[in-house]
Amino acid sequence: MDPVAESQKFFRRISQSSNIMLFLLWHVVHLILSVLYIVREIFRAIENYLITNGYVKTYTNLNLDRVKYLGIVIDSDEARNTSKVVELLEWLSALGVKKLCLYDREGVLKKSKAVFMERFGSTENSVAGPLVSKKRMDFEFVSITDGKEAVAKAANLLFKKYYVDGDSEKPFFTEAHLTDALKTLGAVEPDPDLLLIYGPVRCHLGFPAWRIRYTEMVHMGPLKYKKLGLIMKAIHRFTKVKQNYGS
Amino acid sequence: MDIKQRTQIYNNLCSFARKCIYSILSVATLPNHIAFIMDGNRRYSKQHNLVDGEGHKVGYSSLMSMLRYCYELGVKYVTVYAFSIENFKRSPEEVRSLMDLMEEKIEGLIKEESLVNQYGVRVHFAGNLKLLSKPVRLAAERAMKATAKNSKAVLTICIAYTSTDEILHAVEECCEEKRDDVKVSNDGKYEKDVINVVDIERHMYMAVAPDPDIIIRTSGETRLSNFLLWQSSNCLLCTQSVLWPEIGFRHLVRAILEFQHKLYYLNKQKQT
């Protein structure tokens, strides 16, 4: 019996058992985490019930004036479920939201634009008549191509204007120059004040970087579990936020 | 047993407990890059009736602890939002005291026994360093030079930084670089776009690190305040209600557990 080989075998067995133990412990920890997430969802459902049935007086009078521009980020897979998106828009329209920015990474919402415009759009072509004028909303549809690629296009515009054309003298570049170049490309809407994120994770999924400097981002969970009461809570919370903007 | 020995034993126990937790977390993928928005120092000062500026000093020791935990765990890239360009709007006294504190702490980083040398950390300063006072800028340049040979991990300190300034600077650098590449056709018309997203990303201050996996903001605020807006497309945004000087190991573990829980979705987003 070779003692060295025996000891190596022994330590390998201990290492394998400790690896199995760690593996099991990791799964136990994540199982506990999953249970905690479920418990949190139950509490959110109860909270939603209380808010939507008027038991919580704090959220009854929402000051929507502070939310000048609301942004909604939806996971692209969930965005394909147009009926759920329409339901969400109906809630927002009922709350009194007039202007909305809809974002999903792949541009699924852009493709369904006609459906939303027909139902909620404030143009003359909309089917909804004057009786439902309260439901009219202005939309902006954004996807990933309006982010980094738009900045690259704006960079090319600036390059052409100040480096290629012999007449113009290159100025001291400021953020205003890039903002103007982006406006020329169609990014005329303001920055959203509040971004509601519908998806499994709190992640803005590539929303145009130039427009979310000081945007409050609230994770609302997956779109299929959306809750009106939690939208009211998020908007109410936003109206209470005090921003220093760095100072 | 005197206090010193008891503290030593307590520290050893904590270190051992941390190592056990690291072993469990390491079963699954760990984040490669974690970023911190260190918010809440002034609020901490007010809450504990400290002299103005003391909150930042306590915040600095929290930063050192968090860096230690990250590097012990094996997180290769850590980025911190130390000072925004917008922070120059604060009172001149506060800005001066922050600059003095930063200069003092940057000099501390270069010392042999500092944490960065202990863990082989290379330090970068990301931001518009020209806006800094000369002593701070020189200290930053010295720290970058002194740690240039370290290769085990990277610490990026965002100072005089905003994302929009970073993007603008990258665009300007691209324009300068491409000046000679422009192709003009016979009738004097500018032919094709020469600047693309990859060019811009190459010139970003943050090109020294990959995109972050987690951004942790303390004090319960839900905005990014012009931090890593370009790089956070597929990043878990973690908000914790604790003030920065009170942040601890458990907050880091919570963020990492959440990251591991959502890893499949985050990786799927990175691939699209």
Interval B25-73: pLDDT, tens: 999 999 999 999 999 999 999 999 988 788 999 999 999 999 999 999 9
Cα gap A27→A10, rounded to integer Å: 26
Q: Which residues of A63-84 are buried (b: 16+ CB within 10 A; e: fewer)?
A: eeeebebbbbbbbbbbbbeeeb
Task: Read off the pLDDT of each residue in B141-163 and give the average, rounded to a whole number.
Answer: 95
Q: Which of B86, B178, B269 sits opposite A245 (nearest CB)?
A: B86
Cα gap A68→A193, rounded to integer Å: 7
Cα gap A181→A159, rounded to integer Å: 11
- The verdict on a CB contact (< 8 Å) between A148 and B200 is yes
B39 among known catalytic residues: yes
Task: Read off the pLDDT of each residue in A113-126 and give the average, rounded to a whole number.
Answer: 76
pLDDT digits (tens, 9 = 90+) for B122-143: 999 999 999 999 999 999 999 9
Give the percent of chain B with pLDDT over 70: 96
DSSP designation for B127: S
Query: Per-residue pLDDT for A16 more than 90?
Result: no
Cα gap A15→A9, rounded to integer Å: 10
Segments in chain B forming alpha helices (H): 3-25, 41-47, 54-73, 92-110, 115-118, 134-146, 163-178, 197-202, 249-261, 263-271
Cα gap A179→A190, rounded to integer Å: 11
Is B109:B80 a contact under the CB 8 Å cutoff?
no
Bigger pLDDT: A4 vs B173: B173
Bigger pLDDT: A61 vs B153: B153
Chain B residues lying within 8 Å of A76, measured CB to CB: 272
pLDDT digits (tens, 9 = 90+) for A202-245: 999 999 999 999 999 999 999 999 999 999 999 999 998 887 77
CA dihedral sign, ordered B240, A242, B224, B159? negative
A185 touching B (Cβ < 8 Å): no
Cα-based angle B266, B267, B272 (whole degrees, multiple of 5): 100
- The verdict on a CB contact (< 8 Å) between B89 and A159 is no
Could you say which of B2, B39, B100, B180 is catalytic? B39
Chain A and chain B share a number of CB contacts under 8 A equal to 153
Query: Per-residue pLDDT for B181 more than 90?
Result: no
Q: How far is A61 from chain B (nearest CA, A)?
A: 23
Angle between helices A82-95 and A113-120 (to 10 degrees): 30
- Mutate which of A15, A185, A203 to test chain B, going by most B C-beta atoms within 10 A? A203
Cα gap A204→A217, rounded to integer Å: 8
Give the percent of chain B with pLDDT over 90: 81
Query: Per residue, what are the HEC states of A123-139?
Result: CCCCCCCHHHHHHCEEE
CA dihedral sign, ordered B16, B21, B25, B31? negative
A157 touching B (Cβ < 8 Å): no
Residues B190, B192, A140, B221, Cα dihedral to 10°:
-100
N residues, chain B: 272
The pLDDT of residue A126: 46
Q: Are strands A138-142 and B121-126 parallel, antiparallel or unpaired?
A: unpaired
Is A107:A230 a contact under the CB 8 Å cutoff?
no
**CB-CB neighbours of B22 under 10 Å:** 16
Enter the tokens of residue B149: 């040979």
Distance of CA B26 to the CA centre of its chain: 22
Through-space distance between the first and last CA atoms of chain B, rounded to whole angstroms: 59
Nearest to B96 by CA among B133, B42, B49: B133
- The verdict on a CB contact (< 8 Å) between A214 and B223 is yes
Distance of CA B191 to the CA centre of its chain: 40
The pLDDT of residue A167: 61
Given pLDDT bands bounded at 50, 70 and 90, which one contains residue A9?
A: confident
- The verdict on a CB contact (< 8 Å) between A159 and B194 is yes
Which residue spans within A95-180 are E strands per DSSP?
99-103, 138-142
Which contiguous run of DSSP H or E holds residue A183? helix A175-184
Q: How far is A126 from chain B (nearest CA, A)?
A: 34
Distance of CA A181 to the CA centre of its chain: 25
- The verdict on a CB contact (< 8 Å) between A155 and B195 is yes
The pLDDT of residue A242: 81
- In chain A, residues 193-232 whose CB comes closer than 8 Å to chain B: 199-206, 209-210, 212-219
Average pLDDT, chain B: 92
pLDDT digits (tens, 9 = 90+) for A42-87: 999 999 999 999 888 888 778 888 899 999 999 999 999 999 999 9
Is A173:B131 a contact under the CB 8 Å cutoff?
no
Enter the tokens of residue A132: 């439902």
Angle between helices A3-52 and A228-240 (to 10 degrees): 90
N residues, chain A: 247
Chain A residues lying within 8 Å of B214, measured CB to CB: none
For residue A149, what is the nearest residue in chain B, using CA coordinates?
Answer: B197
Query: Per-residue pLDDT for A130 more than 60?
Result: no
Cα gap B136→B115, rounded to integer Å: 20
pLDDT digits (tens, 9 = 90+) for A139-172: 999 999 999 999 999 999 999 888 877 666 777 8
Task: Read off the pLDDT of each residue in A115-130 and give the average, rounded to a whole number.
Answer: 67
Bigger pLDDT: B75 vs B3: B75
